[in-house]
Amino acid sequence: MVVPYEGQSFSTLRRQCRMNGCLFEDPLFPTSNQSLFYQSNSIGVVTWKRPKELCSDPHLFVDGISAHDLHQGQLGNCWFVAACSSLASREALWQKVIPDWKDQEWDAEKPETYAGIFHFRFWRFGDWVDVVIDDRLPTVNGELVYCHSNDKNEFWSALVEKAYVKMCGCYEALDGGNTADALVDFTGGVSEPMDLTENGFKEDEEKRNELFERVLKVHSRGGLISCSIRATSAAEMEARLDCGLVKGHAYAVTDVRRVRLGHGLLSYFKSDKLTMIRMRNPWGQREWNGPWSDSSEEWKRVSKSERLRMGVTVEDDGEFWMTFDDFMANFTDLILCRLINTSYLSLHKTWEEAVMQGSWHRHDDPLLNRAGGCTNNKQSFLQNPQYVFDVKKPEDEVLICLQQKDRRATLREGQGENLAIGFDIQRVELNRTYRMHATQQKVGGSTYINSRSVFTRIDLPEGRYVIIPTTFDPGLEGDFLLRIFTDVPSDCRELTLDEPPQTCWSGFCGHPSLVSQVHILNANGLAGQDSDGVSDPYVIIRCEGQKVRSPVHKNTRSPEFNTKGLFYRKKANKPISIELYNHNVLKDSFLGQVMLPAETGDFQQTLHLRDKGDRRDNDLPGTVTVVIVTSEVLTKI
């Protein structure tokens, strides 16, 4: 879905300008200091000029589009320029950001059709937003102040930057930012920031190799990648190291590959290959000067044809190669922006996407409050919004991204700081349909950070889970977007009700008065049912006509079930039964059951299985460990 920014329609505005014979002037982004700064003028007298006033033959693109087209101007937005460099290497992606580019290009044969208006698209909060701008660009002494191209008559980078700036309020709002955010805005993908100093990447060769495979996969499937070396103080920001790299500076990754060593036909039969990565400095200069830098001796080990295939050049153009080991030794942060492919026609992995929009808002009633803060706030944490989803495979890789609305546009009003946000993932009962009022088994979550988005990639076993997105502090309000990606549909939905609603039939059929949680931990010594003496067991919990069935556990007589069921009970005197079965192709066989008496209170106990007649002289082999959390009075929830 494409949404016009502030209701401005590109086609309507261009048609009006052509009819009136005038060039477009954007009333929403005037040629004044308020479009440049939100604090104070730091660059002097600025003159706004159209491309025709800067050169005689302007174009959007000169000889196509490439990462070499971009040079950072007088603004600390290397994060944005690095993302643009990555974008420029992906035709399918930049054509989304720069739609109808041929139609927007200057036409020398029909100069009367030019109306001084352009439009670009960015993914924001679940929608592609179409942003209209005029072509007036800020200059000082006849030179573009901000992002510009190598070619004086190429303007795509300056115009894309202006459209992005318009959404953010002013140019100064881009001074410092997060490359991960820009990559998402260009693709609608999901960015995963990685700290390379953690998880043993630098010390463990096997982990480095696994990471290279992940980086290569993201790159080969059209994703965008950025990296940086963390600066630990203001003095270190953009400080050049002896190796030529710059601290606190975002680099775009423009290629990832295994490079064949050797010359001639024999090189094709050698197993020697280097894992290598290519990067670009948005400044367009200052490169890595270590092994495999542009003119280093190491390149003699690679054939000329291989160098041509890799695009190796000996120029100070800001782009350079290095081995992945050297990359890991020098860089501290990596951002992988995955493109989320949901097409069933694709040869690559597809994802099932669930998108939830919600908000944190305050209310005096604890049952209606949705701004409870993080787990530090034990009394209010579970008052936050809650979303339930299912993992339907024995194990699934789950991607979860929580995003808040960008606040850059409100910097001028002193409201531009992001909230510190994060989320918890808790494993819950297989049949949960109402909101949680007590914490359960935490299986994952994110860090809390005042970033526009937080991300977690996690492998989860089959079961039901609840995600609780929160602000770090309670009482803070804001809108958020929650995206969940799984291999099979997760049936994600918000939990809105606190308990079963009362209906007109409640008086006749009875309304639940108690809520009981039954948790089956494990079983031991089950009778073998298969030819190899083991079972494929599963458990069923039954209560008042309701049942919960666990997944099947393969080839075991001692399954770790970790299965929970939640029952809203009308008949507190009715027992709860736990039945174990062995899964067979034709008909499942009964292994035994445990009957829990109605008066059972909170306990954890190992119980012997019996047959369905509950004859105590006919115990079946095996035990089952059960935890019962009995029966909160429902009205106290």
pLDDT tens track for 382-434: 999 999 999 999 999 999 999 998 877 776 666 668 899 999 999 999 999 99
Q: Is the pLDDT of residue 621 over 90?
A: no
171 Cβ contact partners less than 8 Å away, ≥ 6 residues apart: 35, 36, 37, 75, 138, 146, 165
Kind and range of the H or E run holding 504: none
Task: Return the structure tokens found at 256.
Answer: 């990832």
Could you tell me the maximum CA-CA distance found in the chain, to the nearest angstrom? 101
pLDDT over 70 percentage in the chain: 89
Residue type for position 38? Y
pLDDT over 90 percentage in the chain: 55
pLDDT given for residue 636 in this prediction:
46
Active-site annotation holder among 71, 119, 249, 519: 249
Of 310, 334, 585, 363, give the one whose Cα is nearest residue 474: 363
Reported as a single tens digit per residue, the pLDDT across 177-188 is 889 999 999 999
Active-site annotation holder among 78, 168, 337, 374: 78
Between 5-9, 190-194, 269-273, 559-563, the lowest mean confidence (pLDDT) is in: 269-273
Reported as a single tens digit per residue, the pLDDT across 68-108 is 778 888 888 888 988 898 888 888 899 999 999 999 999 88
Reported as a single tens digit per residue, the pLDDT across 443-461 is 999 999 999 999 999 999 9
Active-site annotation holder among 281, 384, 418, 582: 281
Q: Which long-range contacts (CB under 8 A, 24 or more apart) does 500-505 make?
A: 500/434, 500/568
Quote the crossing angle between the two packed helices 156-168 and 78-88, to the nearest 10°: 130
Q: Given the DSSP bridges, would you call strands 273-280 and 251-260 parallel, antiparallel or unpaired? A: antiparallel
Let me know the angle formed at the C-alpha of 286 by 284 and 290, rounded to the nearest 5 degrees: 130
Mean pLDDT (whole number) for 278-298: 83
The answer to whether 263 is a known catalytic residue is no
607-to-331, 497, 518, 574, 620 alpha-carbon distances in Å? 56, 35, 14, 19, 11
Mean pLDDT (whole number) for 459-481: 97
Q: Is the pLDDT of residue 635 over 50?
A: no
Task: Return the structure tokens found at 564.
Answer: 């929970």
- Mean pLDDT, the chain, as a whole number? 87
Reported as a single tens digit per residue, the pLDDT across 207-255 is 999 999 999 999 998 899 999 999 888 778 778 899 999 898 889 898 9
Contact 568, 515 (CB under 8 A): yes
Q: How confident is the model at residue 617 (pLDDT cuts 50, 70, 90)?
A: very low
Q: How confident is the model at residue 538 (pLDDT cuts 50, 70, 90)?
A: very high
pLDDT given for residue 214 in this prediction:
93
Contact 35, 171 (CB under 8 A): yes
355-to-382, 422, 492 alpha-carbon distances in Å? 21, 17, 8
For residues 148-164, b (16+ Cβ closer than 10 Å) or e, as one string? Answer: bbeeeebbbbbbbbbbb
Q: How confident is the model at residue 618 (pLDDT cuts 50, 70, 90)?
A: very low
Report the helix count and the strand count for the chain, using DSSP H and E.
11, 27
Instruction: Print the SS3 string covering 135-196.
Output: CCEEEECCEECCCECCCCCECHHHHHHHHHHHHHCCHHHHCCCCHHHHHHHHHCCEEEEEEC
pTM here? 0.87
The answer to whether 281 is a known catalytic residue is yes
Task: Return the structure tokens found at 388.
Answer: 């339930």
Separation between Cα atoms, residue 580 and residue 582, nearest integer Å: 7
Handedness of CA 588, 589, 593, 598 (dihedral sign): positive
